[in-house]
Amino acid sequence: MAEDKFLEAIDLFNAVDKVSEYFEDAQSRIGRCYFGQYELLKKEEDSKLEKLDPKKFAADKAAGAIQYPEGLKKLLDDAEAKLLAFIELTNQVKVEGLDQKQKRLKSMSITMYYLGRIYDEKNDPEKVLKYLEEFDVTYKDMPDMVLPATFLRLRASYLKRDSRGTMDMLRVLEETDNLLRTKQGRKKSHLYLVIGFQLAGKLCSELAAQAKVDGQMELAAELSDKAAEYLWRWIQASVLEKEGINPAEAVSKMDAVGIKQFQAGEYDKAALIYDTILKKFGANVSDKQKKELSIKLSDCYIKMENWEMAKVLLEELYKASPKVMVFIEKLVFVYDKYGDKFKKEHKENESHQEYNKALDLYGTLLKPPNPEKTEWWEWKVAVWKIMFKKGLFKDIVDQTVKIKALYPELGGAKTKKAIEDLEAQAKEKAR
């Protein structure tokens, strides 16, 4: 078995005599073997879990909620301990001669990189940044090592929500990839750079949204511009595959990817794609297509329960086209859900503001009265549900009593039951 080879290698490296010139390097290699065995067994465990329940595995992996056996954690701890012991050894023993110094430099670069990977696995961005600090400067003559190490530094900065650190590492990543592309005759960007653009764009987009909520409009605009730039670079590298592509073809390709991401439940990635399409190609698509793409983006925000972003987008659509039913229905849904969010946070004023916006919008749907339509009754039920959340129990009872007198069937069996249940609950609360 492959894992036996790692164990055999560990035994061989442990057998190296302390006075041997290879002893120092052997200690680093032992740590790397432990990590190699960890990766191998983790991959096997992932494969088992995925076969048992693919959907649960994907969700747990995305949330970082997979519980691995203790044996795997011990392998990671053993790898960490051995690599740290190697560093301590190098601090105690000086080497002379150019060849020995170069060997140590290479061993040290690999050791530091593996420590970065270990702490990345342990979700410890602080230590990733500690052990890979200035990696691109110290080991500048080793671009093959600088590229993956810089990616780890970028991801650590992203996890810390450090936009400046993320952007700095993206710059180093791009410079290193350009160097290697020339050296290797490679045309496409490395996957590390592709993911780097995506992470930087996503972080800047999220921080821009937060800055906007906080009223920091200048910062929000700056971050939004950066997000658009990085996300466009991501799209170029990962989706379009070539420069100079015409706008219609670009939009078509990006839309297809967005649909796949949405269907796969990757709503944040789909949102990034649609946001990028609208920012980069908004002037190149028809008004109809722009509205369709905006609706897809709003659907992503709704699935992500990002009510603030969904609200901002849908309010713009509604303002431009106040008679389009899909805009009204989605916006009133968002107002209602946003109100629920504030209610759970015990922010009564904010929740009532959103509920009132929903009620006002439902008012436009309910005029003039059209009791022949099922939708009209469904909207009436929705209005009373929101009123219930606002505590307007007496008003609900008064209104339902009146409408029952006018329309005893109450729109059919389904809505009749819903109305009668609401009325009964409101009467109970009003006592």
pLDDT at 157: 97
Cα(49)–Cα(179) distance, rounded to whole angstroms? 40
- Dump pLDDT digits (tens) for 278-291: 887 877 788 899 99
- The identity of residue 203, as a single letter, is L
pLDDT at 2: 55
pLDDT > 60? residue 119 = yes
Cis check: omega of the bond before 368, within 30 degrees of 0: yes
- Dump pLDDT digits (tens) for 354-382: 999 999 999 988 988 889 999 999 999 99
Highest mean pLDDT of the ranges 27-36, 187-196, 260-269: 27-36
pLDDT at 3: 57
Q: Judge whether 154 and 200 are in contact, CB under 8 Å.
A: yes
- Dump pLDDT digits (tens) for 69-89: 898 999 999 999 999 999 998
- Dump pLDDT digits (tens) for 236-279: 777 665 545 577 777 887 888 889 889 988 898 889 889 888 88
CA atoms within 13 A on the CB side of 237: 20
Cα(146)–Cα(234) distance, rounded to whole angstroms? 21
- Dump pLDDT digits (tens) for 387-430: 999 999 999 999 999 999 999 999 999 999 999 999 999 999 88
Percent of the chain with pLDDT over 70: 97
Report the chain's mean pLDDT, rounded to a whole number.
89
The predicted model gives 51-56 an average pLDDT of 87
pLDDT > 50? residue 1 = no
